Structure 1
């Protein structure tokens, strides 16, 4: 397990984030880490799943973040589905 820093933007937010996650985390866990800093603060909470996009591809929430092809300092985008 190693630190995996990512840049992230939550759709509707105005701030780009630098989010440190674990390279063994699932896509779902990474999405939750991003949402923790944004939802209820600058983006309203909604009753909808939050998904993660990398290079234009929506990632499977159950896959590991590195298995999904995400590398250190890659940009990811979280959004309500």
Structure 2
């Protein structure tokens, strides 16, 4: 387990944020950590489940940052598929 910086943006937002995640965090936790900075601030809350998109593909919810091949400071998008 190690701190791992990523850039994140939530669907419907215009601000890219720098978010510290953990190398062992599943994508469900990464989505929550990124969305925390936008939902109910600039983006309305949505009841649908969140997913993480990286380089155009939606990642499995149980994949870790390392499993998904994410590099430090890569941009991850939180989307509602």
Does the pair score TM above 0.5? Answer: yes
TM-score (ref. length: structure 1): 0.94
Report the CA distance between 1:48 and its aligned residue.
Answer: 0.5
TM-score (ref. length: structure 2): 0.94
Cα deviations across residues 15-66 of structure 1 (Å, max 9, x unaligned)? Answer: 1100010111111110010111111111000110111100111000011121
Distance, in Å, in 1 between the alignment partners of 2:47 and 2:12 is: 16
Please tell me whether residue 52 in structure 1 is matched to residue 52 in structure 2.
yes
* Number of the residue aligned with 2:15: 15
Give secondary structure in 2 for the equivalent of 1:30.
helix
Give secondary structure in 2 for the equivalent of 1:46.
coil
Distance, in Å, in 2 between the alignment partners of 1:64 and 1:50 is: 15
**Unmatched tracts of structure 2, length 5 or more:** none
**Unmatched tracts of structure 1, length 5 or more:** none
How many equivalent residue pairs? 81
Do the aligned partners of 2:52 and 2:79 also contact (CA within 8 Å) in 1?
yes
Distance, in Å, in 1 between the alignment partners of 2:28 and 2:3 is: 17
Distance, in Å, in 2 between the alignment partners of 1:60 and 1:20 is: 20
Structure 1's consecutive aligned runs of 4 or more residues displaced over 3 angstroms after TM superposition are none
